[in-house]
Amino acid sequence: MKRVFLIVLDSFGIGEEPDAAAFGDVDVNTLRSVAGSPFFRVPNLQRLGLFDIDGVTVGEKSGNPLACVARLREKSMGKDTTIGHWEIAGVVSPRPLPTYPEGFPAEVLEEFSRQTGRGVLCNKPYSGTAVIQEYGKEHMQTGDLIVYTSADSVFQIAAHEEVVPLEQLYEYCRIAREILTGEHGVGRVIARPFVGPKEGPFVRTAHRHDFSLLPPEKTMLDHIKAAGKEVLAVGKIQDIFAGQGITEHVYTSGNEEGIQRTLEWMDRDFEGLCFVNLVDYDMLYGHRRDVDGYAKALTYFDEKLPELLGKLREGDVLMITADHGCDPAYLATTDHTREYVPFLAYGAGIPGGSVGTRETFADIAATVLALLGVPGETAGKSMIHL
């Protein structure tokens, strides 16, 4: 094969994993929840074989999937974006990244304040939309930075764009990234800029930027690049891998632009991988527990699928998967949920049908490398043998 287009539907889980309770998740199933919405219509995913995957109990099975399909279990000890994408790319993380349910320790914040010259507000797990309403006015009065976290391994810095210009906010994130290593090596430091009048209300802008840890080992991206092929990144893939193994990238404002950029790159001549993250499922609908919004976003993707499939050339494969769950109907928390994820691969010469339940997301990396004829060690095994 010449080109692989790998699309991650961020947070599209398909049912709880056996160890979900250990992660605080009971009876979670993102697909089941959104399938109950009147706005959920995915006939193209149905024909590819979404409902033929092991364990899927909603929807009508095709009986003859056009795609190679599988249910993937996460082997890493986490349920966050960084670890999920690293495992997709072939690296299993045996230990979870650190989280801070009580806020960050004094030594971290004191050093951060010393290097930035600014104080810190909040220092708690908080909703990103709520924290700017709660602390935005004080931030504008004092210039102190709003630092908060979530159930994920993240250090988030919110600042008003008129108080802290974007490039300065990004520099503060780089400072935090250098501080947060070793014991406190969080998965991501995230810039969360916002705007609004000094009395509020405030709204977040599209200028978010993530500063991730480097993957601890070589990923499929490194192997593909080393083989002289291209690795094109769409959306936050560039940030998740800290640019490592990527030859070209484009940021996007959301799912619609992410799909459009992918369609544009499908018209381009290249050999290698186009790795796409569509973030809205997670950011706009999963964490905000918006079942109907999630369903509408999946329906929109399904409506665009014929256009994506129509641009496949001989030697191309389209893969669809996810990095974790974020069940919008699960009200015990607003966190990600520990779930299996789907895998669908379609292209000329790719045999349709189920290949069962797999032990690790890393089987995707092994499959991509095998299809592209690229050597490289991963933690997985190829699911497709041509």
**Fold annotation for 3-96+213-372:** Alkaline Phosphatase, subunit A (3.40.720)
Find out whether the peptide bond into 38 is cis, omega within 30 degrees of 0.
no
Per-residue confidence (pLDDT) for residue 295, from 0 to 100: 98
**Binning pLDDT at 50, 70 and 90, where does residue 9 land?**
very high
Mean pLDDT (whole number) for 220-228: 98
The answer to whether residue 32 scores a pLDDT higher than 80 is yes
**Percent of the chain with pLDDT strictly greater than 90:** 97
Mean pLDDT (whole number) for 318-322: 98
Rounded Cα gap, residues 22 and 58, in angstroms: 25
Per-residue confidence (pLDDT) for residue 302, from 0 to 100: 98
Report CA-CA distances (Å) from 75 to 19, 21, 187, 338, 366: 10, 15, 17, 11, 15
**In degrees to the nearest 10, what's the CA dihedral of 373, 8, 331, 101?**
70
What residue segments make up the domains of the chain, in order of their start? 3-96+213-372, 106-211
148 and 127 Cβ atoms separated by less than 8 Å: no
pLDDT tens digit sequence for 144-180: 999 999 988 999 999 999 999 999 999 999 999 999 9
Q: Is 161 helix (H, G, I), strand (E, B) or coil?
A: coil
**Binning pLDDT at 50, 70 and 90, where does residue 30 land?**
very high
Phi/psi for 299 (5° steps) reads: -65, -40
Closest C-alpha to 81, from 153, 189, 158, 157: 153
Q: Which amino acid is at 14?
A: I
Encoding tokens for residue 160? 């008003």
**Percent of the chain with pLDDT strictly greater than 70:** 100
Per-residue confidence (pLDDT) for residue 26, from 0 to 100: 96
**In degrees to the nearest 10, what's the CA dihedral of 16, 19, 24, 26?**
40
**Binning pLDDT at 50, 70 and 90, where does residue 385 land?**
confident
According to DSSP H, which parts of 180-236 are helical? 220-226
Per-residue confidence (pLDDT) for residue 347, from 0 to 100: 97
- The length of the chain, given as a count of residues: 386
Mean pLDDT (whole number) for 35-52: 98
Pick the CATH number of 106-211 from 3.40.50.300, 3.40.50.970, 3.30.70.1250, 3.40.50.2300: 3.30.70.1250
Rounded Cα gap, residues 53 and 244, in angstroms: 32
pLDDT tens digit sequence for 53-90: 999 999 999 999 999 999 999 999 999 999 999 999 99
Average pLDDT of the chain to the nearest whole number: 97
pLDDT tens digit sequence for 228-279: 999 999 999 999 999 999 999 999 999 999 999 999 999 999 999 999 999 9
Q: Is 337 helix (H, G, I), strand (E, B) or coil?
A: strand
* Count of CB atoms situated within 10 Å of the CB of 164: 22
Report CA-CA distances (Å) from 45 to 150, 173, 244: 32, 39, 32
pLDDT tens digit sequence for 80-97: 999 999 999 999 999 889
pLDDT tens digit sequence for 90-136: 999 998 899 999 999 999 999 999 999 999 999 999 999 999 999 99
Burial string for 10-37 (b: 16+ CB within 10 Å, else e) reads bbbbbbbbeebeebebeebbbbbbbbeb
Burial string for 80-108 (b: 16+ CB within 10 Å, else e) reads bbbbbbbbbbbbbbeeebebbeebbeeeb
Per-residue confidence (pLDDT) for residue 151, from 0 to 100: 83
DSSP state for residue 123 in the 8-state scheme:
E
The answer to whether residue 386 scores a pLDDT higher than 80 is no
Phi/psi for 325 (5° steps) reads: -105, 165
